[in-house]
Amino acid sequence: MLKKWLSYFIPINVESVKSKWSKTLEVTWANGQLVLDSRNTNYSYGSLQRILRIGLLKIGFARIKKMDHILVLGVAGGSVVKTLVNEVRFTKKITGVEIDADVITIANTYFELDKVPNLTMILDDAFEFILKTKETYDLIIIDIFQDTKMPNFLFESFFVDRILDVLNRNGVVLFNTMCLTDADNLRNSAYLELFDKNRVSVQTIPRIEAHNELIIVEKKS
Ligand X SMILES: C[S@@+](CC[C@H](N)C(=O)[O-])C[C@H]1O[C@@H](n2cnc3c(N)ncnc32)[C@H](O)[C@@H]1O
Closest CB to ligand X among residues 103, 139: 103
CB within 8 A of 126, min separation 6: which ones? 73, 74, 97, 99, 142, 144
Cα separation, 221 vs 213, in Å, equals: 26
* 26 phi/psi in degrees, rounded to 5: -125, 125
Min dist CB 1 to ligand X, Å, is 24
- Binding-site member from 26, 138, 143, 213 for ligand X (CB under 6 A): 143
- Binding-site member from 90, 145, 175, 191 for ligand X (CB under 6 A): 145
Cα separation, 181 vs 125, in Å, equals: 26
Pairing assessment for the beta strands 93-98 and 69-73 based on DSSP bridges: parallel
Site string for ligand X, 161-200 (x = CB under 6 A): ----------------------------------------
Look at the chain and count its residues. Answer: 221
Cα separation, 8 vs 21, in Å, equals: 30
Considering the rule CB under 6 A, would residue 46 count as an interface residue with ligand X? no
Considering the rule CB under 6 A, would residue 95 count as an interface residue with ligand X? no
Considering the rule CB under 6 A, would residue 126 count as an interface residue with ligand X? yes
Min dist CB 137 to ligand X, Å, is 15
The footprint of ligand X (CB under 6 A) covers: 21-22, 43-44, 48, 52, 73-80, 97-100, 103, 125-127, 143-146, 151
